Structure 1
Amino acid sequence: MSGVVSKLRAYASFLAWLAGVYSEPWLSALALRLRKLSITARLRLTATLRGAEYPFSALHPAVRKAIRGRERELREPTPIQVLGIPRILRGENVLLVAPTGSGKTECAFLPVLHFLAAEREAGRLEPGVYVLYITPLRALCSDVARRLRSYVRSALGDGYLVGVWHADIKKNEKTKLAEKPPLVLVTTPESLEAILDTKHRFRKHLAKLRWVIVDEVHELAESKRGLHLLVLLERLKATFGIPRLQRILISATVGDPRRIARLFGGSDGKVRVVRDPGLRRIDAEVVLRRGRSAEELVDALEELMGKGSGYLVFVNTRSEAEELHAELEKRGLGDILVHHGSMGASKRREAERKFKDREVKAVVCTRTLELGIDVGSVERVFQVGSPSLPAYFAQRVGRASHRPGEPARGTLVCLDMNDLVESAAILSMLGRGSFGARRGPPPAMDLALRQALALVLQHGDKAGAQAVAELLGSLLSHVPASWGLGAREALRVLEERGLVEEREVVDVYGERARVLRLGGRFPEAWRKIGAFFTMIPERSELEVRHGRERVGVVDVVNLRLMKRGVVIRLGGKCWRVKELRGRFVIVEPEASDRFAIPVWRGGYVLAPQSVGLEVYRFLSKAARLHRRGTSLGEWRSGGVAFRLDEEARRGLAVLAEELSARGVPMPGPRRMVVDRVKASALGALDRFLGVSPEPRATTTVLLYPFGDYIANTLAALLWSSGSVSKVIPRSYGILVRHEASFDPLEYLLGAGRREVEEAVKSSPYVYVVAFELRRSFGYSRISEKTLEEDKLLREECVRQAKHRFYDVEGALRLLDWVRHGCISVSERLVERVGDLHPVSRYLFEAERPPAPAA
């Protein structure tokens, strides 16, 4: 009886999930269309009743004057401004979601400036910081401040400042801000933490704070940085007794705006989502340069760019940026620069300035230029390799062609069939307004521990344990996160580890009291105090310097390369290593065409299951169109039109033709395809895996839209079996090299929760997380022995690794559906390479499609 019940439960959950999968494309498109119709009607009605200039006409006269005085006059409000400004004027917390270039910054700031102008007119605008403008990047701060400064100066006069505060701002500039506080402070979450903890002279100026604007909120919402900011806002309110902060959030690419709105409300009440449903039109070209050398890739980019200028070339990692720039420079294209986060700040700013002033043709960059840094007009965006997520490409291509009425223009340069199919799937999702579901905020015990330390640091040995515990508990209660412990337990953990200690003091009246102060282990754990203020995952880095110039940083794994005389490439230039001084690499310029490119951890993005599902949805559609004789060269999805070049079209046509063949099953949400590869067909897969032939080993390919998180979980489970020598998880399938007597699918279906949990616990990602968390738990270094002995630390590392890299519940649910027959399994015995499923063969590069005709 229990078996029947469990089967019914499995089918019920599967059918509910499947209904969502099949309905999502047309429901998303329908919802987008209905929102457009509703908003269009509201805009027309508003214009009829209140005039074409509303809501600008509702603003203070000084603000209207500032609008008219702009170099690029805001003649008519944009849709997001019509929808958002009235709500902000009513005092509501809002999340503004609109395409790049739609005037979101003005929508957020002009109504705040309206209130400031009214306060000045009434004589109530006293010295102090009234507006906090938070950006996720230091590089954004100066651009935002320059933009806001022009409005403040026009509306209020020269006596009111817009200040910038972050780690790159010089000490004397910060001293000036402490002496004469700005009206608006532009900063980052990390700098706000530093101000609260240690900058006592400036901190007092935040007592008058009334508005908080958070730009690019999607960059913070998915990480501990977002939780960190929320706790800091609660600390600000508690420190100065601020009754309410009006919260204004800004984003162009939020996948789930309602979830972010719920997260960011805190103690200030509900956040309303104000969305402009008009997606920016995208005109994209998809080109395939499969199996080409770096020189041929440069040929392709040179041909695609032509003689124009104003191009941003995005790549996915810093190493790729340096390598591609080096190849372009070899070709004699000296008017192309490089830009990434491991370059020195001055070098990045120089690249931004030269691009804006059109002194260079293009910039090869990573995500550092994805957000709103002002680089002037961008003619076209190039993306080399798949962008992995719809939101990333939307943000990148949104930098192009800001002229009214023009679509954003982009070119995706695909390096293999995997890139081609994934890029096409991402463009299809963007067309219906789907940015892909993102994960919620992570577990954050380390943040709770660190905030307890921050309160002790802020109050300077003057607060008792009871007061700190109550305050910490109040702060954490307003932030919906998985803290893993309570406030009192957090203090107990810190005291046990020597990070805080309680001592008795006597006040001026002779009264004895017990207060908290930092413990003796704090200086050891937090030797680099700058790391205390940030929740950005710590990397062990070496700083590369030429004289006083900071060239950039490289991960410490490059230490074996940094020998005297070795030439490295960083920031688009070659440098010869002179010597190592502790954590500094001293270099000098070197003209050389032989060099090593450093490697950096990170840069790769995990795709959710929605991307894997879209890959197979796109392949199914391509196969249907091919059977009908329809050309696969041009595609349209909503406001996104994309064309495939001849090589991409031929590659997709070959794949579609094989998928259309009789008897070839198509993987999808209801079917998993399993290729069991016999020894005679292993050669090509061995080349892809980079392994030598083994007489007792074979390969199995599992094709299904897993998504990267579920694929990682199943890969960890297979690895734990001890019978697997190599496993490659991807969002659309898993390739497994294993002993001939081992059956990967049978092993997966025989595993339960305990086996899956144990596999994840033994993952190397747990040690990656442990390195990042070690200081919060009182360690300057971490070892396997420490991780084994410290149960609390290990459990938290496992919790956070599961959230960042795995989906245990999703994997268990999927295996349950396969066991109960909800998902059918099509098994195929592969005796030669040609018998491999087309997806296995092309996407895992076992065989290349024919070269295009000359």
Structure 2
Amino acid sequence: MTGFDALHPVVQHHIVNELGWRELRPLQDDAVAPLLAGEDALLLAPTAGGKTEAALFPLLTRMAGESWSGTSLLYVCPLRALLNNLEARVNRYASWLGRSAAVRHGDTSQGVRRRMMVDQPDILLTTPESLEAMLVSATINPRSLLSEVRAVVVDEVHAFAGDDRGWHLLAVIERLTKLAGRPLQRVGLSATVGNADDLLAWLQGSKRGRRPGRVLAPKAIGGGAPEIALDYVGSLPNAATVIARLHRGEKRLVFADSRRTVEQLGVGLAELGVETYVSHSSLSVAERRRSEAAFAQGRDCVIVATSTLELGIDVGDLDRVLQVGSPSTVASLLQRVGRTGRRPGAVRNLTVLAPDDDALLRATGLLLLWSEGYVEPISPPPHAAHIAAQQVLALALQERQIGRHTWQDWLDGLELVPPTEADAIVEGLLAKGVLDEDSGMLFVGPEAEKRYGRRHFMELMSVFTSDPQVTVLHGRTEIGAVDPMVLVSKVPGPRRLTLAGRTWTVTAVDWTRRRAYVEPSEGSGTARWLGTSAPLRGRLVDAMRRVLLGATPHGVGLSGRASERLAGLRAELGDRVDAERTVVLHEDGQTRWWTWAGGRANAVLHAALDAVAPELCHPDSTYTNDHIVLRGEATESGLGAALAAANQRFGEDLAGVQPEVMQRAVQELKFGDLLPDTLAHATLSERLADHPGAASAVGRPRVERWTL
């Protein structure tokens, strides 16, 4: 008996007669039995691998067979655009059984929300932030809307698990479980990850070990190896020129890893006569939809995007994917490659264009890892004390009052922080006036309204930290948002900015309402947003070291320019690398310890050295992803003695070392202001650290070199 045979007869009928499928894909067939049995599951397949159907077909069968009523299935996504993209497809499948699906997120109008309360959808497509908003709403009863939930599907679960939105999602699911009074089946959908069993255990949250769960990842049939190419172009204008000349007549999706680069490429391509669209998070919803819809309908055109289009949003049938610069993970690279090759006979492909030396080395290192079959493990950030503080406050809003010693019952064992810190978090909230207490019951204090606003505490719903951006408008049409510094820095002549792939002249700024008014313009403008660059993983940085030592990714077509520049980098930077040892290099009056251990490991090493031998550390510089800056007079023997002292003081694993945290970083931690200062610093310090990577670097022998 196949999985197909166990599906509801009506679902079978429509799969065959409406979708025209002769059979289910392996993942879809394998998923039926465990999902019908109510098991938790993690379904793994490449982009466009049929994961949505693998989850929905058996869950719709359960819905019909067990007579689920009300809103009984939640489908959670990380992006609003992905929800919008899925709505028609999910509603189509639900309609086969006389059921319905609807989207609810931050862009959903009040009218639609009111109708949803009267005519509840069977499947609700939403985000964790919207679920939180429903739980704490003062205008709706969450029990009337969400108490019938039986199962939760989390799409692109890897995108949640790697950051604080994942902890927030798990906490919200635990609260929904308590509200519904029944265990909720949890189904995660993901592309390939390096630690699937761990990801499933994370998704199960407090139910890990208490509920059956399995990973389903059948081997893909056919498809062949993707065509991967690497070229060195030397600059962004050159990248635009290459993109304009490559693959004319085809539909091309170009990824860049910053909004600024997206805008610069968009303008450059448009000036070269290419039909170009752009997509990133600082564009208005209407502008993004306009670009994505026009691109989906086009043929000979380009869309330039940040990672907003990395996930499964449908932008039509792509011919080519190009990457300017380099993503930071193999998992991200696989997502981008997976956007192509969906037509019968089409080949998955990716062309990487390196605009500078750093991008070339990083891209080559990443492709080396890919060629070796490596995919990063997904690791949730440790020590979610700030999310625990947010949850206490959210529960006080949801229940109007919550027991000081019983609020964690709502999380049913989900440990956001060690139990010893839970009381400290509550004490801090009381001390700040965010919470008040009466007879052991906690309720929202006046300071909470001052910090998070009176409008339904909307800032409290999201774990995102939003840039302090200024909205840009052309007449009444919102174009997007920019960093305020674009509007205050001195410029000669008219103030121009680049947004939505076009140039605008600023005509007026309303600072009170944080709005800038613009008119279309010619020429180039400024594109700028605030942002922080994440440290690179040690595995990638070490791969970059191996590239400098001569390693080359197999299965990747290197252009002549890329091969020539790599040879130049190996000659220029060869004294910084060694096959077995780290390098203490004296160059131009400076000393650097080239660890190639990654930013987080180097943060631990620098903090350890600063604690035991501050005289070795440079007064003005600290560390990067690949090296630590020391004073010019530092020596390998002095460094070795300091590291031995660090091992003696902090242990061989250096677990006792806490990297220094800048106050600005604490201020940028969403909900960090809810924590006592010491706990906020400890939270960030733990997240900044890679103790195993640091210990490994200390354990390797060192060589001392001088350059002339």
Following superposition, the deviation at residue 565 of structure 1 comes to 5.0
**Residues 552-593 of structure 1: CA deviation (Å, up to 9, x unaligned):** 222344452499952211122223321223242221222121
* Partner SS state of residue 108, structure 1: helix
Judging changes above 3 Å, is the alpha-carbon distance between structure 1 residues 803 and 486 closer, same or farther for their aligned structure 2 residues?
closer
Residues 73 and 123 of structure 2 are in contact (CA less than 8 Å); yes or no, is this contact kept in structure 1? yes
- 1:569 is paired with a residue whose SS is strand
| Amino acid aligned to 2:685 | K
| Other-structure match for 2:59 | 112
Which one of the candidate residues 403, 411, 418 is aligned to 1:465? 403
Question: Pairwise mapping of residues 314-393 of structure 1 onto structure 2 (< 5 A)?
Answer: 314-333=255-274, 335-358=275-298, 361-393=301-333
Displacement of 1:498: 1.4
Task: Show the 5 A alignment for 1:116-155.
Answer: 116-119=63-66, 124-126=67-69, 128-153=70-95, 155=96
In structure 2, the partner of 1:676 is: 586
| 1:796-815 matches, cutoff 5 A | 796-808=679-691, 810-812=693-695, 814-815=697-698
Partners of 1:665 and 1:826 within 8 A in 2: no
Q: Partners in 1 of 2:693 and 2:112 — Cα distance?
A: 51
| Structure 1 pair 448–562 and aligned structure 2 pair: CA distance change class (3 A) | farther
The reply to whether residue 524 of structure 1 matches residue 446 of structure 2 is no
Question: Aligned partner of 1:89: which letter?
Answer: L
Structure 1's 713 and 537: CA in aligned 2 closer, same or farther, altered over 3 A? farther
CA positional deviation for 1:235 = 0.7
- The alignment yields a C-alpha RMSD, in angstroms, of 3.0
Q: Contact 1:802 / 1:808 at 8 angstroms: preserved in 2?
A: no
SS of 1:427 mapped into structure 2: helix
Describe the SS at the equivalent of 1:200. Answer: coil
Q: Deviations over 1:597-655 (max 9, x none)?
A: 223313x3432222123334445454xxxxxxxxx7xx53xxxx310011112233455
Q: 1:673 is matched by which residue type in structure 2? A: V
Distance 2:549 2:197 in 1: 32
Match of 1:228 among 134, 152, 168: 168
- Determine whether 1:827 maps to 2:693: no
SS state at 1:362 partner = strand
Does residue 403 (structure 1) correspond to residue 343 (structure 2)? The answer is yes
Is 1:541 aligned to residue 469 of structure 2?
yes
SS state at 1:523 partner: helix
Once the two structures are superposed, the pairs formed by residues 325-724 of structure 1 within 5 Å of their partners are 325-333=266-274, 335-358=275-298, 361-404=301-344, 406-460=346-400, 463=401, 465=403, 469-470=405-406, 472-483=407-418, 485=420, 487-503=422-438, 515-527=441-453, 529-558=457-486, 560-561=488-489, 566-577=495-506, 578-602=508-532, 604-620=533-549, 622=551, 636=554, 641-653=555-567, 667-668=578-579, 670-677=580-587, 682=588, 698-714=589-605, 721=614, 724=618
Query: What is the identity, as a one-letter code, of the residue corresponding to 1:828?
Result: R
Unaligned runs of 5+ residues in structure 2 are none
TM-score (normalised: structure 1): 0.75
Which of the numbers 734, 741, 757 marks the counterpart of 2:627?
Answer: 734
Q: Cα deviations across residues 689-714 of structure 1 (Å, max 9, x unaligned)?
A: xxxxxxxxx22343333123213444
Matches within 5 A, 1:200-215: 200-201=140-141, 203-215=143-155
> Is 1:795 the counterpart of 2:693 in the alignment?
no
Superposed displacement of residue 308, structure 1: 2.0
Partner residue of 1:67 out of 7, 11, 15: 15
Partner of 1:265, secondary structure, is helix
Residues 1:235 and 1:77: Cα distance change in structure 2 (over 3 Å): same
Give the corresponding residue for 1:78.
Answer: 25
Structure-2 residue corresponding to 1:190: 129
Q: Report deviation, 1:524.
A: 0.8
Query: Given that residues 132 and 186 in structure 1 are in contact (C-alpha distance below 8 angstroms), is that contact kept between their aligned partners in structure 2?
Result: yes
1:735-761, Cα deviation, whole Å (9 max, x unpaired): 63x653344883575152779999966
- Relative distance call for 1:171 and 1:115 in structure 2 (3 A) is same
On the 8 A contact 2:252/2:322 being kept in 1, the answer is yes
- 1:744–1:392 distance in 2 versus 1, CA, 3 Å: farther
- The one-letter code matched in structure 2 to 1:667 is D
Instruction: Tell me whether 1:763 sits opposite 2:654 in the alignment.
Output: no
- Alignment partner, residue 102 of structure 1: 49
What SS does the aligned partner of 2:131 have? helix
- Residue 250 (structure 2) pairs with residue 309 (structure 1): yes
Q: Look up the SS of the partner of 1:413 in the other structure.
A: strand
Paired with 2:372 and 2:57, the residues of 1 have a C-alpha distance of: 31
3-state SS of paired residue (2:282): coil
- Give ranges in structure 1 of 5+ residues lacking alignment: 1-49, 505-513, 623-631, 683-697, 778-791, 818-822, 832-854
Distance, in Å, in 1 between the alignment partners of 2:660 and 2:573 is 38
Deviations 1:367-407 (A, max 9, x none): 11000111111111101112121111111111112124643
Q: Give the secondary structure class of the aligned counterpart of 2:464.
A: coil
**Whose radius of gyration is greater, 1 or 2?**
1
* Aligned 8 A contact 2:251 2:319 in 1: yes
Checking the alignment, whether the CA contact within 8 Å between 1:340 and 1:366 is kept in structure 2 is: yes
- Distance in 1 (CA, whole Å) between partners of 2:169 and 2:86 is 19
Question: Which structure features the higher share of helix residues?
Answer: 1
Q: Distance in 2 between matches of 1:749 and 1:164?
A: 61
Distance 2:374 2:665 in 1: 31
Question: What SS does the aligned partner of 1:102 have?
Answer: coil
TM-score of the superposed pair, with normalisation by structure 2: 0.90
